[in-house]
Structure formats: structure tokens, C-alpha cells
Amino acid sequence: MISVLAVDLDETLLRNDGSVSPRTLESLAAWEASGRRAVIATGRPPRSARQIPPALHHLPCVCYNGAAIYQDGKAVYTRTMPADDVWQIVDALLTAMPGGRVGIEIDDVLYVNQPSERWGHVHIPDLLGMRPRPAAKIIMSLREYEQAVTSTASLPATAKALLSEKYDLAQIMPTGSSKATALHHLMEMWAISMDHVAAFGDDVNDVEMVQEAGLGVAMDNAVDEVKAVADRITASNDADGVALVVEELLES
């Protein structure tokens, strides 16, 4: 029996306008009232993961594509790239793309070398002049990253690249981090098998989570890679796709 929901935010739980539908909120409330659990699993940092309806703020949150888990407002799991490797990667990217925009996520703050519209960012024109610190991820536009890697060395063993055409985003993450890995860790804490998890997602950072859950659900607006590993496809994020499945599970 499915007892845990793991739900991505953007274009999954959230509608295209960034809101959560009343029907979805009601279905999640009913799910928890039945004694079952729900988890947010997002690529967002903690600060923007919290920009959801207050009724969902109590939910545990897998952030940074699995590089951190927050529960009751505290980090209970973290995985970062070593400081020296972070600066090696940033130096290589900026050497290959001197005009490129690069961001570094450190302790829930995004440091960007050019002005950005991202939530909570700090503009640091000279990223390499910062004191080296471990980071949860490095971000760059996919287009600029693909241009940069043609003239840069491969990433160090402590890092991997997660490439999303859907969001035009390259995310350099700690090796071994993923939403699936973080969920496995959280389920071990709760003594619950992944077989009892239903995972919902739409983009490449959701593939492993959807594939390894007991019930993997792809949104109708998901990329083909997610649909290929899903057990079922639900309606889109703008058509209450999450609520449809949750309501069915409550009735089963």
C-alpha cells in the first residue's frame, strides 16, 4: 500500500502560475488526515521551496535535487561538493565563457556573478574572489554550459552535471546526490520501504525518483525521459494531475 507521496514542485504540484489548486490542497490534507505522509522533492533551494502555501510548510523537503533534506525547518541530511573542487569548476567555466552567468548555492544563498532575477541571490561580480566554501550546486544556462564544456576538462569525481533542456539549465551537483538517493535516506529514517512511495515528477531530475518509487507518476507535461520510466501518466500540473492520483489512492 502506498503510504508516502513524494512530489516535485515546479510544473508538478505547482500550476504554471506558481499556485497550488484548492483541489490539490484538499487532497493532500485528506491524505495526511488518513495517517499517511507527504514529502516535497524539488531542485529548488530551501528558501524558494518555502514559497508554497502555508498549509504545506510543515512537510519535509528534499531540496537541491537531493543534496539536502529539511525536516521541521532543520537540515537532517546534506551532501556538498568540496570547496576546492567548486572553485576549480567555476574557474574552468568562467575561463571558457568569460561573459557567462554562473551561480553557486552555498548555505541557502545563491551567489551570482551577474545580476539575476532568482530569489534570494547575492550579486558577486568576482566569484573567484570569494572565500572557497563547499557548495550544494553550481548553476549555469544549459546553452552556456554546453559551449563551455567543449573547451574545459571533465568535472572532478566529486561532481556531476544535471542538464535540463526544459528549463535551459545546467546544474552541477555533488556526485551521488539525487532525489531518489535522498528519498531512500528519508525512508530509512522512517523505516518505510520505497515500495510504499508514490513519486510525481516532470523533468530529468525526477527520473530516478519516479523509477525507484513503488508507484512512479509522470505528469502529462513531463519530458519523455520521465514518462518512459513511469508506471502511469496523470493529467498536467494545470489540470490537477497530482490530486487525481491522490484521490484514487485514498479510495483504494
Q: Give yes or no: residues 182 and 60 share one domain.
A: yes
Q: What is the pLDDT of residues 52-109, one digit of tens each?
A: 999 999 999 999 999 999 998 899 999 999 999 999 999 999 999 888 999 999 999 9
What is the extent of the structural domain holding 89?
A: 83-174
Look up the CATH number of the domain holding residue 212: 3.40.50.1000
213 and 153 co-located in one domain: no
Q: Are residues 204 and 219 in the same domain?
A: yes
Q: How far apart are CA 71 and CA 78, in angstroms?
A: 12
Instruction: Judge if 137 and 120 occupy the same domain.
Output: yes
The per-residue pLDDT for range 11-41, each reduced to its tens digit, is 999 999 999 999 999 999 999 999 999 999 9
Instruction: Determine how β-strand 197-201 pairs with β-strand 232-233.
Output: unpaired
- Name the residue among 53, 58, 16 with its Cα closest to residue 38: 58
Q: Report the predicted TM-score, pTM, of the whole model to 2 decimal places.
A: 0.92
The answer to whether residues 158 and 182 belong to one domain is no
pLDDT tens for 204-233 read 999 999 999 999 999 999 999 999 999 999
**248 — pLDDT class (breaks 50, 70, 90):** very high
For residues 14 and 74, membership in a common domain is answered with: yes
